[in-house]
């Protein structure tokens, strides 16, 4: 809902005479709190009801966290706008410990992300990593109740909810690569709705859009959904785009890393090149084993 308000306010700043109505829709992802998302079909569970509402003309646009958006979109829909990115990194939240390196052996860390689980178990094998679902408030409540010594959340979500004081450590990409599209908000509408696309166009942030295009190209080339342990992070340096990526087993026994860079003008080509590097290292075997459960 924060994201929807953010987009509404941005639209009304650009078009003061525009009337924007917010329509709250509860998705399957919101309702599925008792089991890991991967076992129910992945983060695409946050999209289905919104996309159906678009296709049925019940709404004119849908606002998504780009890390939840599947590789392929339903026919007739597109995401013409990606807003300026908030901090894309993961964040450590803990009442006792200031950073990951200070967590003692046996400390219990909660996260629902297979990517985070893979990196935590690979880099910090002495930690106990357990699944944690629910919205931010629910996860913080379980931390405060003593169920975990620390939890990992997206820094962007905490900042947007004005809970940045809960962040003990912003985890550098060198330690934990962010998820594809993490921290970026995308706006989806019908492909044939030229008027809505026109109204939305001033909200697009070009450099964020290029970065997310590169990251999503990695996921697409790997054939990964949103629930597999894939990380990708793009940065712009002048006219060059630098891209890093990983694929890992959730148990941390194997994590593959790759990096590449190329011309900013063709982010998809850079993403495909990085994916090919990961595939040459054996990424497909890892992804297949995760898909097979």
Which candidate in 17, 68, 193, 292 is catalytic? 68
Q: For residue 96, with 0-12 CB atoms within 10 Å meaning exposed, 13-18 middle and 19 or more buried, which class applies?
A: exposed
In Å, what is the CA distance from 212 to each residue of 5, 65, 98, 200? 22, 11, 30, 18
236-275 CB burial, b ≥16 within 10 A, e <16: beeeebbbbbbbbbbebebbbebebbbebebbeebbbbbb
Token pair, residue 235, equals 């940065």
Other beta carbons less than 10 A from residue 126's beta carbon: 10
DSSP 3-state assignment of 24? Answer: coil
Phi, psi of 258 (to 5 degrees): -155, 155
CA atoms of 234 and 245, how far apart (whole Å) = 9
Q: Which of 218, 267, 272, 269 is nearest to 247 (CA)?
A: 218
According to DSSP H, which parts of the chain are helical? 2-14, 28-31, 48-55, 114-123, 136-144, 155-160, 194-200, 206-222, 267-280, 283-291
Q: Is 68 a catalytic residue?
A: yes
Distance CA 63, CA 86 (A): 15
List active site positions.
68
């Amino acid at each position: 809902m924060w994201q929807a308000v953010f987009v509404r306010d941005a639209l009304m700043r650009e078009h003061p005479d525009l009337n924007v109505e917010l329509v709250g829709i509860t998705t399957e992802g919101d309702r599925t709190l008792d089991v890991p998302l991967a076992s129910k079909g992945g983060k695409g569970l946050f999209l289905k009801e919104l996309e159906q509402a678009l296709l049925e003309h019940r709404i004119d646009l849908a606002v998504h966290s780009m890390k939840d958006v599947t590789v392929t979109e339903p026919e007739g829909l597109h995401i013409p706008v990606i807003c300026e990115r908030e901090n894309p990194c993961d964040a450590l939240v803990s009442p006792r410990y200031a950073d990951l390196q200070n967590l003692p052996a046996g400390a219990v860390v909660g996260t629902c992300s297979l990517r985070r689980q893979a990196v935590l178990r690979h880099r910090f094998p002495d930690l106990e990593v357990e699944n944690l679902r629910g919205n931010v408030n629910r996860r913080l409540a379980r931390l405060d109740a003593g169920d975990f010594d620390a939890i990992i959340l997206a820094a962007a979500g905490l900042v947007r909810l004005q809970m940045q004081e809960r962040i003990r450590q912003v985890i550098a990409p060198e330690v934990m690569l962010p998820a594809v599209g993490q921290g970026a908000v995308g706006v989806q509408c019908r492909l044939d709705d030229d008027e809505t696309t026109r109204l939305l166009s001033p909200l697009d942030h070009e450099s964020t859009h290029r970065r997310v295009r590169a990251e999503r190209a990695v996921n697409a080339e790997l054939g990964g959904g949103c629930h597999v342990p894939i990380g990708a992070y793009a940065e712009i340096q002048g006219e060059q785009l630098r891209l890093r990526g990983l694929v890992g087993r959730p148990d941390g026994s194997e994590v593959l890393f790759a990096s590449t860079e190329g011309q900013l003008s063709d982010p998809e080509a850079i993403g495909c090149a990085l994916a090919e590097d990961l595939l040459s290292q054996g990424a497909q075997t890892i992804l297949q084993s995760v898909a097979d459960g």
